[in-house]
Structure 1
Amino acid sequence: MAIEVFNRSECKFLIQEDIYEELNIKLLKHMDMDDHNKEANFYTISNIYYDTEDDYLIRNSLSKPKYKEKIRLRSYGVPNIDGKVYLEIKKKFNGIGNKRRTSLKLNEAYEFLSTGEKPELKSYMNKQVINELHYSLKLYNVEPKLYLAYDRKAMFGRDNREVRITFDTNIRTRRYDLRLEAGNYGEPLLEKGKMLMEVKVEKNIPLWLAKLLSEYKIYKTSFSKYGNEYKKMIMNNKRLKGEMNKCSTQYSAQYQMQQLAHQLL
């Protein structure tokens, strides 16, 4: 059975694609490719993030509390309606991430998420995670909010499998057509030429990796894909509102001038 419970610290770095090319060569001296990368240089991960009507989960996450959580539906590639997907609850407490997930068929996941009623238990489901998700769905009353996909390269430490490094590129999002089976298209989240690198460890970053990051002057940053998309959406909404207010003011002024001219005739 695939691992469905993960506990680890995550360090994130925004890097340029040319730096990635050099890093990739040096990392492969210490690491092995993920099984998903055996057939392709990058593989696609698609997600739908679920949140409350007023976006409580992401707003709380951005306030940097000691404890936060997210609920998402994930697939590798674009699934069919009865294809295999993962329903996940991702928690973080004092900087330590905990991800719990269960396999489901896509139609079963949609039904669970929309009704909050637990599916009939099957051999491929994780009963404990189903129960945890059932509690969270009752607590938050979530709905689909964001589609987010990216192309990933992942690798594991050759001597220490607890060390995992991922590179995510072509991060794309949409807030419409929120179905995994609809395709992995969307608007770009990052500037062209940038990638997100994540180092995931259960304890400490190995010394050889720390030296490599220092050599390339790669510094840790705080970056949440969902969080940054949410902030971008809020800024765009404020800008649009400002433009609408400006147009409304201009129209009002023109109307008043026309009325005054009419009265003088």
Structure 2
Amino acid sequence: MSIQVSPLNLERYELKYLISPDMVEPISKYVEAYCKMDYFSEIAPDKCYKINSLYLDSPSLYILRSKETAEAFHFNMRVRSYGEGLKPPYFFEIKYKLREFVRKKRAKVTCENWQDILEYGLIPENLEGMSVDNLEEFLFMKMTYNVGPVILTQYKRKAYLSEVDDYARVTFDMSLRYQEMFEWNVKPDDKMMCNYDHPDIFEEPGKNVVLELKCEKKIPYWIVDLIRKFQLQRGSFSKFGNSMLTHYTIPEVMAAGTLYR
């Protein structure tokens, strides 16, 4: 079976909306006229799969603080796994963002001892395609900004891929959890995980599902119609920023009530 996954290099727009759980099903039905479920949703019993993201930052939290300027160019660095985080592949990702435009670079790593890459700068010999260049860039950024693990997030995703466009995705992210993490580890500990999808973090009470509409430079008409049909109002939500905001007390951020983009 051919498994469709995101390309290692991509540039796209990401439009985010906060919706209530009861909107997931009607929006899904609308989307299914243009999309099919991605492989991981298709094989999941409840059509949702787990995504684990180990986010990196500097000792001074440079990456987190750079998000305080809403219009500024900023980036995230993370190691991502799927399911319970026990098996490869692992994805080393840098996500550059300017407003709603995103450039993402991923390196796919299939070795079990992926931690050695970060500890010793060892690049596996079996990397394919753009993974080598992207991993080298990841390691360069790691050294430049002196970043290490700070927080591990996990959420459940229901995802669709367009069948009528070259590239378009619709994702629903829910059950957002996090734990503090200072080790190279992408396996959540259920005893340590805390939810951060509560009303105080979201812009509107009760709307604790993150809907993302992702496409290339031209927004498809069916996405425009979807936005109009369900009267969606653009929002902003950063899983890294808001899990950190929940966990740490950063006085100037808390005082401003900032929701990170």
Q: Do both proteins adopt the same fold according to a TM-score greater than 0.5, normalized to the shorter chain?
A: yes
- Please tell me whether Structure 1 or Structure 2 has the larger radius of gyration of its CA atoms: 1
2:116 maps to 111
Contact preservation (8 Å) 1:121, 1:127: no
1:34 maps to 38
SS of the equivalent of 1:171 reads strand
> How many residues in Structure 1 have an aligned counterpart in Structure 2?
235
Q: Give distance in 2, aligned partners of 1:99 and 1:108.
A: 24
Q: Give distance in 2, aligned partners of 1:197 and 1:28.
A: 15
Match of 2:219 among 182, 195, 205: 205
Structure 2: 5+ residue stretches without partners: 199-205, 252-261
Alignment of 1:36-55 (within 5 A): 36-40=40-44, 41-55=47-61
Contact preservation (8 Å) 1:62, 1:227: no
Aligned Cα root-mean-square deviation (Å): 2.3
Q: State the TM-score, normalizing by the size of structure 2.
A: 0.81
Q: Which amino acid aligns with 1:114?
A: E
Q: Give distance in 2, aligned partners of 1:140 and 1:107.
A: 26
Higher helix content, 1 or 2: 1
CA offset digits 1:78-99 (Å, max 9, x no partner): 233x632111111123542111
Q: State the TM-score, normalizing by the size of structure 1.
A: 0.80
Provide closer, same or farther for how the CA distance between residues 64 and 193 of structure 1 changes in structure 2, counting only shifts above 3 A. closer
State the 1:226 CA deviation.
0.8
Match of 1:102 among 92, 107, 111: 107
State the 1:221 CA deviation.
0.6
Contact preservation (8 Å) 1:16, 1:193: yes
- 2:143 is aligned with 1:129: no
SS of the equivalent of 1:199 reads strand
- 2:201 is aligned with 1:196: no
1:66 maps to 72
- 2:194 is aligned with 1:180: no
Contact preservation (8 Å) 2:149, 2:182: no
CA offset digits 1:123-164 (Å, max 9, x no partner): 447211122112111101111100001110111112114111
Q: Percent identity?
A: 24
Contact preservation (8 Å) 1:114, 1:143: no
Q: Give distance in 2, aligned partners of 1:107 and 1:113.
A: 13
Q: Give distance in 1, aligned partners of 2:246 and 2:227.
A: 29
Alignment of 1:139-150 (within 5 A): 139-150=144-155
